Amino acid sequence: MKKKGSVALIALCVVGAIVVLLVGLFIGQHNAIVGLEETVSTRLADVKVQLERRADLIPNLVETVKGYMSHEEKIINDITTAREKMLGANTVEEMSEANNQLSTALHNLNVVVENYPDLKASQNFISLQDELAGTENRISTARRDYNDAVKAYNTKIKTIPASIVAGMMGKEEKAYFEVSDPSKEEVPEVKF
């Protein structure tokens, strides 16, 4: 009788150890996924801050340019529209699309500015261009950091055993912040 009791106790201990191990594994994977998701959210906030910083510089740029380029109204309107879209963007996809539109509009502005030597020499314009260039670098860095965080998160929720836990938590892949190269867009036609 004693032997049956010992075997039952050992079996119960083994089952208990397995349950504790599985619960520990679940908790560890859960916490890792939550941590990565928070990193993604933080990095997205960083991208948004830099995009808003650039959007805040746009009104000054537009005002400076208006005085020199009164007949280039389409470019100024494109920049203003893209800025408004940027400020109204809520999702990664909307921010990415608005960023691409604003980048294209700014690229088109830079192409047209070549025809205005007085504007290119304006200290105010040069200062704004420098600030925008610095902001573009910050945006690029923030976007890269965000995409790295998304890659780590997406990889984690796709690998076993985290994929099981992620499925139980209802976690889905996060979207990358995609950007198009405005220099590959069609160059605007300038007519006088």
The predicted pLDDT at position 47 comes to 95
Q: Please tell me the predicted confidence (pLDDT) of residue 181.
A: 61
**CA 150/CA 146 separation, integer angstroms:** 6
pLDDT in tens, 142-187: 999 999 999 999 999 999 999 999 999 999 999 999 887 655 444 4
Tell me the pLDDT band of 52, cut-offs 50, 70 and 90: very high
Rg (CA), the chain: 27
d(CA 57, CA 147): 25
What tokens appear for 114 in the block?
């070549």
pLDDT score of 24 = 94
Q: What is the mean pLDDT of the chain?
A: 88
pLDDT at position 190, please? 41
pLDDT value of position 192:
34
The model's pTM is 0.80
Q: In the chain, what percentage of residues exceed pLDDT 70? A: 92
* Res. 67 pLDDT band, cuts 50 70 90: confident
Instruction: Please give the pLDDT value at position 62.
Output: 86
Using alpha carbons, select from 65, 44, 75 the residue that is nearest to residue 139: 44
Secondary structure of residue 15 in the 3-state scheme = helix
Domains and CATH numbers, the chain: 2-42+55-184 (1.20.1440.20)
pLDDT higher than threshold 80 for residue 103: yes
Predicted pLDDT at 76 = 87
CA-to-CA distance for 27 and 20, rounded, in angstroms?
10
Q: In this predicted structure, what is the pLDDT of residue 3?
A: 76
Q: What is the pLDDT of residue 120?
A: 78
Reduce the DSSP state of residue 9 to 3 states and report it.
Answer: helix
* pLDDT tens by residue, 113-154: 888 888 878 888 888 889 999 999 999 999 999 999 999 999
What is residue 188's predicted lDDT score, i.e. its pLDDT?
A: 43
Asked if 54 and 102 count as a contact pair (C-beta separation under 8 A), the reply is yes
Q: Is 65 exposed, middle or buried (0-12, 13-18, 19+ CB in 10 A)?
A: buried
pLDDT of residue 1: 55
